[in-house]
Structures are given as structure tokens and as C-alpha cells.
């Protein structure tokens, strides 16, 4: 069969080019040639590995690489260290500002203290905290009112289960059962079908890491070498952490004007190596629920698993319907949803250290398990990241769920959603304030076109509030807990925001000079993110440091 003319022509050209190349190469020493081919291959492999490892634009990565190389020069290092030193000292000072005693126990006491002495110290440390959680001045963080009856019950439960460890199910059969019951209760809240399964983890981050780990393993079993997590720009940073830990790539889908994942964009961003589609119900920054139904359909159509991150709203969204607030389906009733993360230690009101990761099938759950069948210490198997697990965490979670019960969760949900909507409505009437997202559940995020919103946050901070800073774009949010769910806290909050907004809008620089505005402004201006990273490390170092001399 004769080849079409076009192809002949091209083949002609190719062989001609090949000849030129060969003639050209003859001029070189074979050794030089071999070395450069070998070196070139290495460079190619390195570049292609850098390219396939991350989803960041190539230019950005090359720039970061160039900065990282430049930073290795000794004189650059000295200059940066010199400039950073005062900032680091500031961070250290600020971390320890509430530690008035400046006594730091760095050595094991030779002789043990009495329980009374230990208790005294603990009470003293507890008094360092300045924020009034019960008055509703702290965003998120503590989700319950910490009623005495509840805490006294937990203290007794902790007493009995302090040393239990579900890793040894034979030694602690009771705590194993508690874990299994908590998981099954939450699976049922999310309408999981028969055959579903899940694990109790230490928190939302671990739940998300476990789900991503399972999908990575599933993808690799299906022959995808470098799996990609596809989630919104508003998805929790735990997905980035999961990608980092599991050696996966993560691709961020843009959100629409309402801060909701753009499903059309998600569809366009699907490639053969996407191993999970993520939707949040709701997301952390603005409390907006992503279009879970559409994501579920997309997952079914492309045969890609779908994870719903309900960490934040885990113990609100299942109760909204009964509390009288309409909500679209977000759970296992959507056939494409294959896993869900739900934090008990947020609105489930359990002490910190528990969250649930759920799977539609046991088979999916198996992809998160880890075993070393030939270990010299015996056949080893764990379901989550931990080896030994704090049985007391499971016990206090179990006790809290049973103690509060469904009616109380529904009642709290109703109060929290009601208060959130009153705040959102009230904020719309404050001059200069612009809401972000749709506050579908318990978060109200806000910004301003007229002044720097961070200055409002700083003024509220001075008034004893602890709100959360958002960026890209700049905004702040309040995440309402049961402590905010009353008229007094709601009215006080609205009045304080109104006053702060008025002050900032009347200031000559419109808040540009506020501390947070300056910090985030600076961070946005340094092209080298590794410098911002270094400051965050200074913060983390400071958290572990002994107090500086006063
Ligand atoms: C809090 C949160 C997480 C992470 O949970 P941690 O318990 O802090 O690890 C994940 N997703 C969302 C939406 C959250 O709000």
C-alpha cells in the first residue's frame, strides 16, 4: 500500500535531518558524546520528575528553584538571617506573652510532686488563656458549652479508660466495642448502605489523610502511577498535607462567585490520573456547601471515587433537615459518594482527638489498612496511621454521643444555624462589609471593597475576639459554635463589627497599616514562598521553646 505523499515528504525530511545530525556529531569525541547523552538524560529525567510531581505552574516552580539556589549563597544567607532575626524574636516573645511566670520545667523532678502540687500547676497554666470562649468570642475551637455534668461524666469515663488501647482488642474488649459503635452510629447518620465500614481517627486531618491514602493505593492498583487529588481551592489544607505525605499530586479547582466548587471546571480538569474528586460539606473558609450531587454524578460518569469532607459540619449537616433547614443531599444516599470524613470533635462536642472516616464498602476501607505479615514482632496490622491508640479518646467520644443524643444535637444545630443566619443578615446591613460565600451552615465570612478587612479583625481582637484570617482573597470569618448560639452573643458580635467597621472606614489609611494587613501584605509581596515558610517554622519552633528572658 503506497504511503500518502505527505508522509513520504516528512519521512524524507526526517532522514535528511538525521543525516545532518550524524554528520555533525562525527565532529565530536565519542566519550564527550556518551557523557552528554547520559547527562542530558539525567537532566531530562530530573526535569520531568519535577514536572510530574507537582501541579504548580512550571514557571512558578522554576522561580522557586532559582530562589532556593540563590539562597544557598553564603552572603544571601547572612543577609536573610540578619533581616529575619528581629521578626523571629518578635514571634518568640508573642508566643510567650501570656506566660507570666516564666518558669519552665525542663528537667524531670527528682522526687515526684504530690497530686495537689501538680493540680496547682495545672490550674496556674490554665489561667494563661485570655479568650472568653463561653461568651462566644472565639471562632470555632471549642464547640460545646462544657457543662459541668458532661465534663464530670467524661472525667469518670477517662478515669476508667485512661490506659486502654484498641490496638489490643483482646485486652480491652470494651473499648473496641465503643469504637465500633461510634463508627456505626456515624455511618448510620450518613445513610451508609449495608457493607459500609469506617475508622475512628485522631481528627479530621487524619481522616482525610486516610481517605487519600486509600485512593492512592486503589489508583496504583489500577495502574495509575502518579495519582491526582482533585479538590476546590477552598478545600481544607489537610488535602495538601495528604498529597504531600502520600506522594500524590493535588489539583485545585476554582470556585464560583459564591465560593462553591465550579463543577464545569472540575469536569475539564479530570484526566486519567485523577484518583478522587473532593467536595466539602461545608468548606472551612466560607462555610459554603459544594455541589455534592453534581460531583457525585461526575464521579459515577468517570468511574472516579468521590470523597465528601464533612469534617467541620459533620454533626450539623445530618441534623439540618430535622432542625427545619432545607439541605441538598450530601451523604451516601448519593450513589457516587464513596467516602466521607466527619469530625466528632467539632460539632459532635467530643473532646479533641476523634473523627470518623467512612467508606461505602469494606473493600475501599481495606485500601487504608497496613500490614507487615512477616514482621519479627509477629503479624502486624493497623487500620490507621497510629500504632497504639488512645482508648480514652474513643471512650469519651462514645460517652458524649450517648449523653447528648439525637434530640439535643438537632436542638443545638437549630440554634447554631439560626444564629448564623441572623449574623449573616445583620452583616449585610453594615456599611462597607461584604459577605463571602453563602453561609450554608455555621460560618460567616466577610470582606470589604472599601477598607482593609484585616484592620476590622485586629480591632475585634483588641475587644477580646479571636476570629480566623482568610486569604486569596483577604477576608475573615467567624465559625459559630454552641457558645455563639444565643441572642446576647449574636447582638454583641454585630454591634462590635459595626463599630470596628466604622472606625476603620474613617481612618485615613483605611486600615492598610494594621498589623495583620502588614503581615499578609508583606507575605504576598515576597516572591519566594520559602521565606514565608521560614517564618512559619519560626512560629512552630517558638511553640516548643523555653520562654525568652524578660
Ligand atoms: C477542621 C477541618 C478539617 C480538619 O480537621 P482537624 O480536626 O483540625 O484535623 C478538615 N476539613 C474541614 C472542612 C475542617 O473544617
**Residue in 403, 385, 511 with CA at minimum distance from that of residue 457:** 511
How do 249-253 and 197-201 pair as beta strands?
Answer: unpaired
Which mutation among 208, 239, 307, 343 tests ligand 1's pocket best, with the greatest number of atoms within 8 A of CB? 343
Query: Nearest-CA neighbor of 471 among 285, 252, 312, 241?
Result: 285
**Centroid of ligand 1 to alpha carbon of 461 (angstroms):** 23
pLDDT value, residue 24: 55
CA of 283 to the centre of ligand 1 (A): 9
User: Cβ neighbours of residue 430 under 8 Å, at least 6 residues apart?
Assistant: 494, 497, 498, 501
Q: Kindly state if the Cβ of 203 falls inside 6 Å of ligand 1.
A: yes
Beta-carbon-side half-sphere exposure of residue 423 (alpha carbons within 13 Å)? 35
Nearest protein CA to atom 5 of ligand 1, as residue: 204
Over residues 150-179, the mean pLDDT reads 97
- Indicate if ligand 1 lies below 6 Å from the C-beta of 239: no
Least confident of 41-55, 350-364, 375-389: 41-55
User: Looking at residues 222-236, what average pLDDT do you find?
Assistant: 97
Cα-to-centroid distance, 158 and ligand 1 (Å): 24
pLDDT higher than threshold 70 for residue 17: no
Q: Which range among 376-380, 487-491, 512-516 shows the weakest confidence by mean pLDDT? A: 512-516
Residue 122 has pLDDT above 80, yes or no: yes
Answer yes or no: is pLDDT of 76 > 90: no
Confirm or reject: Cβ of 280 under 6 Å from ligand 1: yes
User: In this predicted structure, what is the pLDDT of residue 1?
Assistant: 37
Q: How far apart are CA 477 and CA 460, in angstroms?
A: 12
Residue in this structure with the C-alpha cell 505527505, named with its chain if needed: 6
Evaluate if residue 55 carries a pLDDT over 70: yes
Tell me, in angstroms, the distance from the centre of ligand 1 to residue 16's CA.
61
The answer on pLDDT for 299 being more than 90 is: yes
278 within ligand 1 shell (Cβ under 6 A): no
| Domain ranges within the chain, ordered by starting residue | 5-52, 162-403
Q: Is the pLDDT of residue 4 over 60?
A: no
CATH of domain 162-403: 3.40.640.10
Our mutation pick for probing the ligand 1 site, out of 208, 233, 238, 278, counting the most ligand atoms within 8 A of Cβ, is: 238
Q: Indicate whether residue 290 lines ligand 1 (CB < 6 A).
A: no
Amino acid at each position: 500500500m503506497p504511503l500518502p505523499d505527505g508522509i513520504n515528504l516528512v519521512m524524507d525530511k526526517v532522514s535528511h535531518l538525521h543525516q545532518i545530525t550524524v554528520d555533525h556529531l562525527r565532529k565530536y569525541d565519542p566519550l564527550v558524546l556518551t557523557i552528554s547523552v547520559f547527562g542530558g538524560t539525567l537532566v531530562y529525567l530530573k526535569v520531568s520528575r519535577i514536572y510530574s510531581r507537582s501541579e504548580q505552574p512550571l514557571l512558578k516552580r522554576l522561580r522557586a528553584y532559582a530562589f532556593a539556589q540563590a539562597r544557598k549563597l553564603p552572603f544571601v544567607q547572612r543577609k536573610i538571617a540578619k533581616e529575619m532575626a528581629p521578626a523571629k524574636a518578635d514571634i518568640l516573645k508573642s508566643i510567650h506573652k501570656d506566660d507570666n511566670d516564666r518558669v519552665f520545667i525542663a528537667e524531670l523532678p527528682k522526687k515526684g510532686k504530690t497530686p495537689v502540687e501538680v493540680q496547682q500547676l495545672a490550674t496556674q497554666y490554665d489561667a494563661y488563656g485570655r479568650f472568653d470562649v463561653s461568651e462566644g468570642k472565639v471562632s470555632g475551637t471549642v464547640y460545646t458549652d462544657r457543662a459541668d455534668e458532661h465534663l464530670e461524666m467524661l472525667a469518670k469515663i477517662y478515669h476508667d479508660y485512661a490506659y486502654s488501647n484498641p490496638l489490643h482488642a483482646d485486652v480491652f474488649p470494651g473499648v473496641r466495642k465503643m469504637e465500633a459503635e461510634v463508627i456505626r452510629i456515624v455511618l448510620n447518620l450518613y445513610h451508609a448502605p449495608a457493607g459500609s465500614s469506617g475508622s475512628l481517627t485522631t481528627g479530621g486531618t487524619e481522616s482525610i489523610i486516610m481517605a487519600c491514602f486509600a485512593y492512592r493505593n486503589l489508583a496504583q492498583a489500577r495502574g495509575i502511577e502518579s495519582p491526582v487529588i482533585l479538590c476546590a481551592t477552598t478545600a481544607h489544607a489537610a488535602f495538601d498535607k495528604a498529597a504531600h505525605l502520600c506522594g500524590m499530586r493535588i489539583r485545585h479547582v476554582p470556585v464560583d462567585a459564591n465560593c462553591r466548587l465550579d463543577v464545569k471546571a472540575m469536569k475539564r480538569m479530570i484526566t486519567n490520573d485523577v484518583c478522587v474528586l473532593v467536595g466539602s460539606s461545608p468548606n472551612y473558609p466560607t462555610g459554603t456547601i459544594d455541589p455534592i450531587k453534581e460531583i457525585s454524578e461526575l464521579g459515577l460518569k468517570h468511574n472516579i471515587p468521590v470523597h465528601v469532607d464533612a469534617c467541620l459540619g459533620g454533626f450539623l449537616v445530618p441534623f439540618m433537615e430535622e432542625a427545619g433547614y432545607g439541605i441538598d443531599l450530601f451523604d451516601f444516599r448519593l450513589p457516587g459518594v464513596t467516602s466521607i470524613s466527619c469530625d466528632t470533635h467539632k460539632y459532635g462536642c467530643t473532646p479533641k482527638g476523634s473523627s470518623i472516616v467512612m467508606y461505602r464498602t469494606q473493600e475501599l476501607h481495606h485500601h487504608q489498612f497496613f500490614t507487615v505479615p512477616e514482621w519479627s514482632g509477629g503479624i502486624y496490622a493497623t487500620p490507621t496511621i497510629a500504632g497504639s491508640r488512645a482508648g480514652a479518646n474513643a471512650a469519651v467520644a462514645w460517652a458524649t454521643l450517648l449523653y447528648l443524643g439525637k434530640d439535643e444535637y438537632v436542638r443545638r444545630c437549630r440554634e447554631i444555624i439560626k444564629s448564623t443566619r441572623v449574623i449573616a443578615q445583620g452583616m449585610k446591613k453594615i456599611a462597607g462589609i461584604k459577605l463571602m460565600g453563602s453561609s450554608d451552615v455555621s460560618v460567616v465570612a466577610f470582606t470589604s471593597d472599601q477598607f482593609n478587612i484585616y484592620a476590622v479583625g485586629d480591632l475585634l481582637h483588641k475587644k477580646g475576639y479571636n476570629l480566623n484570617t482568610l486569604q486569596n482573597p483577604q477576608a475573615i470569618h467567624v465559625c459559630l459554635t454552641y457558645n455563639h448560639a444565643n441572642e446576647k452573643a449574636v447582638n454583641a458580635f454585630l454591634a462590635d463589627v459595626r463599630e470596628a467597621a466604622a472606625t476603620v472606614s474613617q481612618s485615613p489609611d483605611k486600615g492598610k497599616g494594621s498589623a495583620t494587613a502588614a503581615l499578609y501584605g508583606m507575605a504576598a509581596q515576597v516572591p519566594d514562598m520559602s521565606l514565608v515558610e521560614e517564618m512559619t517554622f519560626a512560629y512552630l519552633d517558638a511553640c516548643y521553646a523555653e520562654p525568652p528572658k524578660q
